[in-house]
Amino acid sequence: MTIVEIGLPKRLVEFTVDGETVRVPEGATILDACSAVGKEIPTLCYGDTLKPANACRVCMVEVEGSRTLVPSCSRKAEPGMVVHTDSERTRTSRKVVLELLGSATDLSTTPGVAEWMAETGADPERFGPPAPPSDDRDDALPGEHEPVDGLTAATVRQPVKVDNALYVRDYGKCILCYKCVDACGDQWQNSFAISVAGRGFGARISTEFSTPLPDSACVYCGNCVEVCPTGALSFKAEHDKREDGSWDEAAQTQTTTVCTFCGVGCNLTLHVQDNEIVKVTSPHDSSVTHGNLCIKGRFGWQHVQNT
């Protein structure tokens, strides 16, 4: 039996989305309301287990009376609000935001984004050919950059960071959604191993003084990997398989079970390809884990297949 927390009774807020009257419990966001009525709004930085960072600006909607568009993931519904999710303004904004992201970042492993790009007609190429990768992004100084000629488009392309056996950081794919920082920090793990460093286009996820992970405060819970929306963080096993071309998501099965390492009872979802566990996630709606695990549950599965 699933236990559903219903909490205290809440007032209902009535407002309109694209001409349709919607009633949601007080405190619900515009995004919650849209999901409730089956209206899909693309999101990237939105995390179902995290406080909205509202940094990616993909989910912007138009609220009548507001000077600017508003992030649907964090703006709470108010009585009488008139929301448009598919106006000329929201379509242009979504298209350009996706183009900007696509022009600066490798989105090849970001689920959903290719379809949204096609739907909106986004063309990241129009900003010019990508500039060559850089190997010194970790040293970018705030408030300074080299003069540009505009003939190439600056990107966050950089070498992949492989400094431990468990997971890989490919920051050329990072859209700076803040989810890994929030999961590592005060919202879940309390390890605070990573933070956003630098600023502007030079902003990047970093350990202190960009030290390698094994020297950092990282405890390898992998909760950052769990929440990463772009594949910038991935299991070493997945990264290696992608590199050698053997990663095949379509051929994988998923089985949810209970972790056997201790008595907490965390739910594990085993992703299996060719009879081999290739990664472990945890259901976000689990009342025990909310998607989080420890190093053992997340990475401690080699013994299962060491036959």
Partner 1 sequence: MDLQFLDAKASFEERAAVDALPEGAARDQLLPALHAVNDRVGWISQGALNYICEKLHVPPADAYGVASFYSLFSLTERPERVVHVCTDLACRVNGADTVCDTLTEHVGPAGKARGGVTWLRSPCLGVCEKAPAALAFEAGDPPGTELLAPATGADVVLAARRSPSAEDGAAPVLHQTDRESLRLLRRVGAVDPESLDDYRATGGYAALRNALELGPNGVIREVTDAGLMGRGGAAFPTGRKWEGAARQPALPHYLVCNADESEPGTFKDRVLLEGDPFALVEAMTIAGFATGATLGFLYLRGEYPRARRLVQNAIDVARERGFLGVDIMGHTGFSFDIEIRRGAGAYICGEETAIFNSIEGFRGEPRSKPPFPTEQGLFGKPTVVNNVETLVNVPLILTAGYAAYREIGTEKSAGPKLFCLSGNVRKPGVYEVPFGTTLRELLALAGGVPEGRELRAVLLGGAAGGFVRPDELDLPLTMEDARAAGTTLGSGVVLALDDQADLGGFLLRIASFFRDESCGQCVPCRIGTVRQEEAVSRIVGGRKLSTDADDLALLREVGQVMRDSSICGLGQTAWNAIESAVERLGALSVEES
Q: Is 257:268 a contact under the CB 8 Å cutoff?
A: yes
124 or 241: whose CB is closer to partner 1? 124
Per CB under 8 A, the list member of 41, 97, 221, 227 interacting with partner 1 is: 97
96 binding partner 1? (CB under 8 A): yes
Out of 29, 54, 72, 189, the residue judged to bind partner 1 by CB under 8 A = 54
Task: Look at residue 204 and give its three-state secondary structure.
Answer: strand
Burial (0-12, 13-18, 19+ Cβ within 10 Å), 137: buried
Nearest to 230 by CA among 80, 120, 123, 107: 107
* 41 vs 101, beta carbon nearer partner 1: 101
Q: Which letter, b or e, does each residue of 5-18 get, where b requires 16 or more Cβ atoms within 10 Å of its Cβ?
A: eeeeeeeebebebe
> Which uninterrupted H or E stretch holds 184?
helix 179-184
Of 5, 136, 144, 274, the one binding partner 1 (CB under 8 A) is 144
Q: At closest approach, how far in Å is the CB of 53 from partner 1?
A: 8
Q: Where are the alpha helices (DSSP H) in 81-147?
A: 88-104, 113-120
42 lines the binding site for partner 1 (CB under 8 A): no
Q: How far is the CB of 296 from partner 1 (least distance, A)?
A: 19
CA 270 – CA 282 distance, rounded (Å): 9
Query: Minimum Å distance from CB 154 to partner 1?
Result: 5
Q: Residue 194 has which token pair?
A: 């990573």
Measured CA to CA, the distance from residue 5 to residue 197 in angstroms comes to 38
Q: Is 175 in the site for partner 1 (CB under 8 A)?
A: yes
- Residue 160 is a binding residue for partner 1 (CB under 8 A): no
Binding map of partner 1 across residues 178-217, x = CB under 8 A, - = no contact: -------x----x-xxxxxxxxxxxx--xxxx-x---xxx
Residues that bind partner 1 (CB under 8 A): 54-58, 60, 68-69, 71, 74, 89, 92-93, 96-97, 100-101, 103-104, 125-129, 139, 141-145, 147-151, 153-154, 175-176, 185, 190, 192-203, 206-209, 211, 215-217
